[in-house]
A and B are shown apart, each in its own frame.
Chain A
Amino acid sequence: DQQVKQNSPSLSVQEGRISILNCDYTNSMFDYFLWYKKYPAEGPTFLISISSIKDKNEDGRFTVFLNKSAKHLSLHIVPSQPGDSAVYFCAASGAPGGYQKVTFGTGTKLQVIP
């Protein structure tokens, strides 16, 4: 049972445009959400997070939006740059597993075309 879903396995965007990566979750007990970025042959690295008490969190070119009623979050990258080409994992944590246990989605491969 996939509790965190990323339905788009890949996405291509022109440099300078907006990239929107989507994520859905089924477990209403999740209350902390994260995005990780992964380059080939490297481990994932933390990108941005959001708590369920917020609906938006911004860090430079990266913004995460959370819609709790729809159990949906999205990552916006504006403007997209070729260096953003990577696999992006959505992740969630909280009760009952605790914040130390994170559930990851299947990932979306983003390609930013120069």
Chain B
Amino acid sequence: NAGVTQTPKFRVLKTGQSMTLLCAQDMNHEYMYWYRQDPGMGLRLIHYSVGEGTTAKGEVPDGYNVSRLKKQNFLLGLESAAPSQTSVYFCASLLAGDQETQYFGPGTRLLVL
């Protein structure tokens, strides 16, 4: 049982490049989330999904797209990376009906030059 895994762990991009961050969970959780963590800003919700095939915008969705084609995977895409997207990205999942525990992945550190 790996929990929540994120790929890659670290990436450097040039401005304008694109990439996809992959999140996978093996706990059969319905809900999945993408957050970004920046100094002094805490964790801010980018997008989330309440089930396979559905996604919704969070607090800071601009510049990102997501897809949830399979229940266990949640992809975060950057079509044209900008330096403002330099951050640490965390994926999380939650069992429907469980108010408490979001399970987080280890994070992806992204540097956009």
Contact = CB atoms under 8 A, between A and B. Distances in A.
Interface in A55-114: 89, 93, 99-107
Give the one of B58, B92, B102 with max A CB within 10 A: B102
A100 B94 contact: yes
Given A34-B100, A106-B42, A43 B48 contact: no
Interface of A is mostly: strand
Chain A interface residue number, banded: 20 to 34
Nearest to B98: A99
A20 B8 CA distance: 36
Nearest to B43: A104
B96 interface: yes
Contact of B106 (A32, A43, A49, A102): A43
Give the one of A34, A45, A49, A102 with max B CB within 10 A: A102
B50 A100 contact: yes
Contacts, number: 54
A107 B41 CA distance: 8
A89 B44 CA distance: 12
Interface string B70-113: 00000000000000000000101010100111111111000000
Chain B interface residue number, banded: 20 to 34
Given A100-B48, A100-B96, A9 B102 contact: no
Nearest to A45: B104
Contacts of B107: 41-43
Given A43-B90, A44-B104, A99 B44 contact: no
A41 B106 contact: yes
Contact of B101 (A4, A46, A51): A46
Given A100-B31, A100-B50, A102-B102, A44 B43 contact: yes
Interface of A: 4, 6, 9, 32, 34, 36, 41-46, 49, 51, 89, 93, 99-107
The 6 closest A-B pairs by CB, nearest first: A43-B104, A106-B42, A104-B43, A46-B101, A99-B99, A104-B42
